Amino acid sequence: MTKSQGLSAERALALDYTTEIERIAGKLRHALTHDLNRRGLVVAISGGIDSSVSAALAVRAVGPKRVYGLLLPERVSSPQSTHRGRMLAEHLGIEYEIFDIAPALEALGCYARIDEVCKAVHPGYGAGWKNKIVLEGGLEGRYNHFKLVAQDPTGKIHEARLEYRQYLMIVAATNFKQRVRKTMDYFHADRLNYAVVGTPNRLEYDQGFFVKNGDGSADVKPIAHLYKTQVYAMARHMMLPEEICNAIPTTDTYSLAQGQDEFYFGLPYAQMDLALWAYEQGRETSELASALGISEEAAQAVYADIEAKRRATKYLGGAPILMGNPSSGS
C-alpha cells in the first residue's frame, strides 16, 4: 500500500476468511492433541460477536459434540445477551447450560462493594439507580481516568471523577464477575477433560482489555490476532444468525448500558481497528488523521494512548516474575 492511496480499513483489514477459518480450526485441533491433550473445548458465550465467532470456530475445529457452551448471566446482564447466547448455541447444535452467577457474586460482596462506591460518589444513590464507569482523558492528551456515571430513578444523569481508592474498589469488585465466570469455565473443562477457549479479539488482547485470571485466562485464544472488524466479517462468512452479526459491542458488566469504546478504547471499534493497524504498520499520524477525519494532534494522542495502554497492561498477560532460574542447577 502506498501513502497516496490513503488508509482504507477495507484494504488494510482484508482477509481470505475461508482459508483463515480452516487454518484456525486446524491449529485448534493441533493444540488440543499436541499441546493440551484435551478432548474438546469449553466456550463461555456472552451473546456478543467475539464469543460467538470463537464458539463457531471451536465447532468447526472439533464438531458440535465436543464443544460445551456456558451462558453465565448475573444481576445486570442484559436479557438480550442471554437470548442471543441461547440462539447461538442452538444454531451451532452444541450442548450448553445457563448458570446464574449472581448468588456467588452476592456472597462474595461484589454488588455491595460496587454500591458502596456509588453511594460515596453520588450520596443519593440507592434502589432504582443504575451505574457505569466511563474512560476519559487519553484521547485528549490527558491522563486516562474514569468517571462514575449514575442514572437516578427519574432518568437524570450524575457524573463525577472516581478518585484513586474508589476507582480501585469498583474495578476490583467488578472483576469478580470475570473471575467467577472463569472458575465455572474451568470447572466444566476439568470435568469434561476439555480446554478453555478465551475470546479476546486483537484490540482487546493488544490493549489489555481483559481481567487477569478472569477473561484473560484460557488455554487457547482463536481470535486474538483478528481485528474486531474481521471478527464481524468472519461471523457473516460463517453465516451466524443475523441478530448476532449485528450485535453492538457492550461490556454487559454495569447496570447502565456501556459501550466498549466509552469504557476502554475511546474510539468506536472500526476506527480503533484502523488506528491500531496504522500504528503497527508505522503509518504517519497525518494518514490516520485523514482517514478518521480527526486532527493530527488527535491522531498523535491515539498513538500515545495505544502505547500507554500497552505499557500499563503488559503485566496482565505475562508469566509471574521469577527471582531466579528454577531450571538452573544452583
Question: Are the CB atoms for 41 and 222 separated by under 8 Å?
Answer: no
Least spacing, CB of residue 142 vs other proteins, in Å: 5
Contacts of 71 (CB under 8 A, 6+ apart): 44, 45, 47, 82, 85, 86, 89, 96, 97, 98, 99
Contacts of 230 (CB under 8 A, 6+ apart): 13, 15, 202, 273
Which listed residue (95, 97, 106, 163) binds other proteins by CB under 8 A? 163
Nearest to other proteins of 168, 239 (CB atom): 168
Nearest to other proteins of 162, 235 (CB atom): 162
Binding mask 265-304 for other proteins (x = CB under 8 A): ----------------------------------------
Question: Are the CB atoms for 248 and 46 separated by under 8 Å?
Answer: no
Q: Segment near other proteins (CB under 8 A), from 42-50, 164-172, 194-202, 234-242?
A: 164-172
| 308: contact with other proteins by CB under 8 A | yes
Nearest to other proteins of 69, 138 (CB atom): 138
| 103: contact with other proteins by CB under 8 A | no
Nearest to other proteins of 103, 141 (CB atom): 141
Q: How many residues bind other proteins (CB under 8 A)?
A: 18
Identify each DSSP E strand in the chain by its residue range: 41-44, 67-71, 95-98, 130-136, 145-151, 157-161, 195-197
Q: Segment near other proteins (CB under 8 A), from 103-111, 159-167, 178-186, 223-231?
A: 159-167
Which listed residue (29, 30, 39, 165) binds other proteins by CB under 8 A? 165
Q: Segment near other proteins (CB under 8 A), from 73-81, 155-163, 179-187, 289-297?
A: 155-163
Nearest to other proteins of 143, 156 (CB atom): 143
Question: Are the CB atoms for 215 and 200 separated by under 8 Å?
Answer: yes
Question: Are the CB atoms for 73 and 82 separated by under 8 Å?
Answer: yes
Least spacing, CB of residue 143 vs other proteins, in Å: 5
Q: Segment near other proteins (CB under 8 A), from 35-43, 53-61, 136-144, 322-330?
A: 136-144
Q: Burial code of 126-136, b = ≥16 C-beta within 10 A, e = fewer?
A: eeebbbbbbbb
Question: Are the CB atoms for 227 and 277 separated by under 8 Å?
Answer: yes
| Residue in this structure with the C-alpha cell 474510539, named with its chain if needed | 267
| 248: contact with other proteins by CB under 8 A | no
Residues that bind other proteins (CB under 8 A): 136-138, 141-145, 161-165, 167-168, 308, 311-312
